[in-house]
């Protein structure tokens, strides 16, 4: 039980760490990419603005920087806008100086008016013009290969500004590689931490659970003596005084207490150290469990039908498996509608063994289908008869867990079916 709890805690902690790590990587990468794209567009816009005020810079290793003083007007053209100058000075100067810009200007008829190529670019003059012409039909800003481009329009021209982003993309790839590498190391560290944290979290739970089980076991054994004494004394009094309503009530309540204590002790035993597994003939065990209920079913007006596949074997605890089937049958008889049919099916398919016990009757609400396996949980008094105190299905669940199986409730078309599945 606590191994499963520890595993679940570890999975939860690890999942949280992974989500945080992945989210951090996404945020860092996305914000970096967004900022760079924004700066690329701003730099090309500045380059395009430079043409509108100063014309194309000379060709060479890097474009001439525009005169960014507000009164620069040597060629009589309009100076750069104040906002562009401030942004340029504050944020983009260094990257602008190191970037490689290419530009082609087309006239109104679509012919090349002038262009600016760089000696270190990958394009010849003809290739640059052809490449720029292909971009004219695309959106205003985008990326093609290792080039980002901006299409801007003037009064009598269309300008295609391009910038080589090979270096900056290489830097981003390096950043991503480092994030994945060091992030992977951090995930390993997180896994170790999650294992340690899971062990630390489960320790007090395990200690408290063990103390609880020890208390139940001790209390159960201590209660057996007074219960036996009350039972013996009540029997002697009945011989002395005969029938008496008060005495009958004492006997009834004492019997109830005896059943509860027995079931609590059964639960405590199931949660304690296990004996070695044995080879169990489940087919014979099922038949032996069903036999005592045939008479009870007949007397109460139920039809008991069973289909038991022959020679089904599994590793397990014979007494527990017999008790499991008895609990499910008893539960079906107590909750079946009058004159209903109780069906028991034992079948083996591929790698699984399935035990199904079904009965017609009131459907179990969906929200209660997991809770009914909790100790002392009862949906309502109308579904509880005789000496039943909400412990039977808890015992069944513990037995299934001891055999590493699963149990579920299926309600469909007025039929309630308890289905147990074991792996071979």
Of 270, 303, 325, the position where a domain reaches its end is 270
User: In terms of domains, do 186 and 138 share one?
Assistant: no
Pairing of the two strands 341-349 and 352-360:
antiparallel
Distance CA 303, CA 421 (A): 25
Considering the domain architecture, whether residues 151 and 183 belong to the same structural domain is answered as: no
Domain tally, the chain:
3
CA dihedral (182, 188, 193, 198) positive or negative: positive
Cα–Cα distance, 92 to 87 (Å, whole number): 7
- Give the pLDDT of residue 261: 78
- How do residues 211-245 score in pLDDT, each as one tens digit? 666 666 667 667 777 888 888 888 888 888 888 88
Quick one: how far is CA 395 from the chain centroid?
A: 29
Q: How do residues 244-265 score in pLDDT, each as one tens digit?
A: 888 888 887 888 788 777 777 7
82-121 pLDDT, tens per residue?
444 454 445 556 566 667 788 999 998 889 988 988 777 7
The answer on 243 and 96 residing in a single domain is no
Domain harbouring 193, CATH code: 1.10.287.130
Backbone angles phi, psi at 97, to 5 degrees: -65, -30
Same domain, 288 and 388: yes
Domain boundary among 105, 137, 164: 164
255 shares its domain with 294: no
Closest CA to 356 of 417, 404, 411: 417
Which phi and psi angles does 350 have, rounded to 5°?
Answer: 50, -110
Look at residue 3 and tell me whether its pLDDT is greater than 80: no
Are 261 and 293 within one domain? Answer: no
- Please give the DSSP secondary-structure letter assigned to residue 340: -
Asked if 379 and 398 touch (Cβ cutoff 8 Å), the reply is no
Domain end call among 140, 164, 188? 164
Its pTM stands at 0.49
Do 316 and 386 lie in a common domain? yes
Q: Which residue has the higher pLDDT, 73 or 141?
A: 141
Q: How far apart are CA 416 and CA 329, in angstroms?
A: 12
Sign of CA dihedral 318, 404, 355, 366: positive
Containing 360, the helix (H) or strand (E) segment is strand 352-360
* pLDDT tens per residue, range 353-396: 999 999 998 888 888 888 888 877 766 544 444 445 567 888 88
Contacts of 402 (CB under 8 A, 6+ apart): 270, 274, 317, 320
359: CATH: 3.30.565.10
Range of the domain at 23: 2-164
Q: Which residues contact 415 (CB under 8 A, 6 or more apart)?
A: 358, 359, 360
Same structural domain, 10 and 71? yes
Residues 155 and 246 in one domain: no
Other C-beta atoms closer than 10 Å to the C-beta of 388 total 17
pLDDT score, position 2: 53
Mean pLDDT of 23-34: 85
């Amino acid at each position: 039980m606590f191994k499963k709890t520890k595993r679940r805690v570890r999975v939860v902690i690890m999942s949280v760490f992974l989500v945080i790590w992945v989210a951090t990587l996404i945020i860092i990468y996305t914000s970096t990419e967004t900022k760079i794209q924004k700066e690329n567009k701003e730099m090309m816009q500045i380059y395009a603005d430079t043409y509108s005020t100063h014309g194309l810079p000379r060709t060479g290793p890097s474009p001439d920087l525009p005169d960014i003083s507000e009164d620069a007007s040597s060629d009589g053209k309009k100076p750069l806008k104040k906002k562009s100058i401030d942004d340029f000075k504050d944020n983009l100067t260094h990257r602008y100086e190191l970037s490689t810009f290419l530009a082609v200007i087309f006239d109104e008829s679509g012919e090349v008016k002038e262009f600016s190529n760089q000696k270190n670019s990958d394009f010849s003059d003809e290739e640059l013009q052809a490449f720029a012409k292909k971009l004219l039909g695309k959106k205003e800003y985008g990326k093609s290969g290792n080039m980002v481009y901006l299409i801007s329009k003037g009064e009598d021209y269309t300008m295609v500004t391009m910038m080589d982003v090979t270096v900056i993309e290489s830097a981003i790839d390096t950043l991503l590689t480092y994030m994945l590498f060091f992030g992977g190391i951090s995930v390993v560290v997180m896994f170790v931490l999650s294992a340690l944290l899971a062990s630390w979290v489960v320790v007090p739970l395990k200690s408290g659970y063990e103390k609880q089980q020890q208390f139940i076991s001790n209390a159960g054994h201590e209660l057996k003596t007074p219960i036996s004494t009350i039972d013996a004394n009540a029997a002697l009094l009945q011989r002395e005084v005969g029938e008496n309503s008060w005495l009958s009530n004492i006997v009834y309540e004492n019997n109830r207490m005896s059943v509860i204590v027995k079931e609590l002790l059964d639960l405590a035993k199931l949660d304690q150290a296990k004996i070695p597994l044995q080879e169990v003939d489940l087919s014979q065990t099922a038949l032996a469990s069903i036999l005592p209920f045939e008479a009870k079913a007949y007397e109460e007006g139920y039809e008991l039908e069973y289909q038991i596949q022959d020679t089904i074997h599994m590793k397990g605890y014979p007494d527990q498996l017999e008790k499991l089937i008895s609990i499910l049958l008893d539960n079906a008889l107590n909750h079946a509608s009058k004159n209903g049919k109780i069906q028991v099916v034992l079948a083996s398919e591929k790698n699984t063994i399935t035990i199904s016990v079904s009965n017609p009757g009131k459907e179990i609400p969906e929200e209660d289908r997991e809770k009914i396996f909790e100790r002392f949980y009862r949906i309502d008094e109308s579904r509880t008869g005789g000496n039943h105190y909400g412990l039977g299905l808890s015992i069944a669940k513990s037995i299934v867990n001891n055999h590493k199986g699963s149990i579920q409730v299926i309600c469909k078309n007025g039929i309630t079916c308890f289905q147990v599945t074991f792996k071979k």
